[in-house]
Amino acid sequence: MTSDEMSDRLREAFPAAITDQSRFRDESTLRIQVSALRDVCLHARDKLGFNYLIDVSSVDHFGDEPRYEVVYELYSMKDCVHLRLKIVVSEDDCTVPTVSDIWPTADWHEREVYDMMGIHFANHPDLRRILMWDGYPYHPLRKDFPLQGKKSDMPGVAFTEPAPLAGGPFVTVPTSGTTQVREPRARHAGDLVMPEKFIAEP
C-alpha cells in the first residue's frame, strides 16, 4: 500500500478530523485537528501498520495564529511507507495530548519539543526538560528568543548571561576551511593547536 492510499484510508475513517492533505516529493502530509490526534494515531498504528514513530518536531510560525505546529513522522516497517501528520496549536493554549503510550519513542521527542518550544504534552509520564537545565525559564527554539540568549537568574549554572555575538561562542565566521575550522569553540580554546591540514589557505 502506498502513502497516498494510506492517507485516503485515514481520510475515509476521519473525514471531519482531517482538514488538509498535501503531497511533496512522494511524501504525504495530513493536517488534523488536535482533538482527533490520539484517535488518528491509534488507527494509523493498529489498522494501517504504522508501527514506528520516527520523530516528533515543532515549528514556530511567529506572528501567525495558531503560532505553533507539531509534526509527527510515521513509518510502516511492513509496507516501507512514510506518512506525516501535522497539528496546529494556539499560543494561548499550547497543549496537545501525548502519544508516548502509543509509540514509546515519543517519550524523549515530546520532552525535547516541550523543552525547546514550550509545548506541553498532556498525560506524558515524565514531562521535564531534556536539554536545558531544570528551572531554566525560557524555550530557546522560539523565534522571539534572541540568538545571544537571555539572562537567567541561576547562579552556578553555565550560560546565565547573554553571549556576545561579535565573535562570541555561538557565532561562526565565513571561511573556506572545514567544519573543524569554522567550529566557534575552536577559536576560543587557548591551548588548541589546529593541525596544518585543517587551516584554510589565505
Q: What is the pLDDT of residue 134?
A: 84
Q: What is the pLDDT of residues 127-176, one digit of tens each?
A: 999 998 888 888 999 998 887 677 777 666 666 666 655 555 555 556 66
Q: What is the pLDDT of residue 163?
A: 60
Specify if 148 maps to a domain.
no
Counted domains in the chain:
1
Cα 9 off chain centre by: 27
Specify if 58 maps to a domain.
yes
Closest C-alpha among 165, 198, 170, 199 to residue 184 = 170
Specify if 170 maps to a domain.
no
What does the radius of gyration of the chain's CA atoms come to, in whole angstroms?
21
Q: How long is the chain?
A: 202
Specify if 16 maps to a domain.
yes
Range of the domain at 12: 3-141
Q: What is the pLDDT of residue 198?
A: 43
Specify if 67 maps to a domain.
yes
C-alpha angle 140/192/132, rounded to 5°? Answer: 20
Specify if 90 maps to a domain.
yes
User: pLDDT below 50 — which residues of the chain?
Assistant: 189-195, 197-200, 202
What CATH number is associated with residue 49?
3.30.460.80
Specify if 189 maps to a domain.
no
d(C-alpha 23, C-alpha 11), whole Å: 14
pTM of the model: 0.77
Specify if 117 maps to a domain.
yes
Q: What is the pLDDT of residue 177?
A: 67
Task: List Cα–Cα distances, 86 to 6, 92, 101, 185, in angstroms.
Answer: 15, 19, 19, 36
Q: What is the pLDDT of residue 187?
A: 52
Q: What is the pLDDT of residue 184?
A: 55
